Amino acid sequence: MLRPDMTIQLPNGREIVVDAKTPLDAFLDASGTAEVTTPSLRFAAHALRVKAHLKALSGKAYWKQFEKAPDFVVCFLPSEALFSAALEADPSLIEFSAQNHVVMATPTTLIALLRAVEFGWQQSEITKNAKAIHEMGKKIYEKLTVAQGHVTKLGNALSNSVDYYNRFLGSIEGKGGVFTYGRQLGELAHGDGELAEISKLQSEVREMESQEWSRPLLAISASDSESNAIRD
């Protein structure tokens, strides 16, 4: 099993493989010599070493070992000078590396890559939180629609109760009702107690006034889906 020097975890579960085993001996030899012609030859040798390393990395095919890795590997060059020297000696290295599924990265470009991945994680968390808020809002709205149905039924029940109470009161308190005869009986019997008149109740149950409650939940969900599709 191959072990890369580093893997970069991406928000979508994928990962980028980074290799940092670039050969430096030819470059160091060229940098340390004082001869005029030798450095260019040593830099050419450095470019050949880098090219051979790129070919070897391509042969390892890290993306086959890591199922969630894209089909390329990052070859890290620990110095901008290493990259520029190799490229100056062999300008075809960039095209060669691309053809072999290898991306050469210097400290500057690797830091930029890591910053981009960091930003991707931040956006992923924002998206995740937005989805959670959307789902929670949908559940709350569903509960509110159920509560609205219960409140409507309760208001109707209260209104019907008052209506039946007033009807009952009319049947016993109105003209010719049993309370009328009861009062007459009390006057004849000279009773001490007084049968007071009972007033009807006024039904004042308020109705739902907000227009939002007249919109079905499915219609609102559909409009939310259309808005998300437009944004995407």
> Among residues of the chain, what percentage have pLDDT more than 90?
8
Are residues 173 and 179 in contact, defined by beta-carbon separation less than 8 angstroms? yes
Q: What is the pLDDT of residues 31-63, one digit of tens each?
A: 555 454 565 677 788 888 889 888 988 888 877
Are residues 20 and 57 in contact, defined by beta-carbon separation less than 8 angstroms? no
Q: List residues bridging with 9 in a β-sheet.
A: 15
pLDDT class of 185 with cuts at 50, 70, 90: confident
Q: What is the pLDDT of residue 11?
A: 83
Q: What is the pLDDT of residues 204-224, one digit of tens each?
A: 766 666 666 555 544 445 455
pLDDT class of 229 with cuts at 50, 70, 90: very low
Hunting for tokens 């039946």 — which residue is that? 164
pLDDT class of 13 with cuts at 50, 70, 90: confident
Q: What is the pLDDT of residues 103-124, one digit of tens each?
A: 899 999 999 999 998 998 998 8
Q: What is the spatial order of strands in the sheet that 102-105 belongs to?
A: 6-9, 15-19, 73-76, 102-105
Q: What is the pLDDT of residue 96?
A: 92
Hunting for tokens 């599924």 — which residue is that? 101
Position with higher pLDDT, 228 vs 136 = 136
Both tokens of 135, joined, read: 């789902």
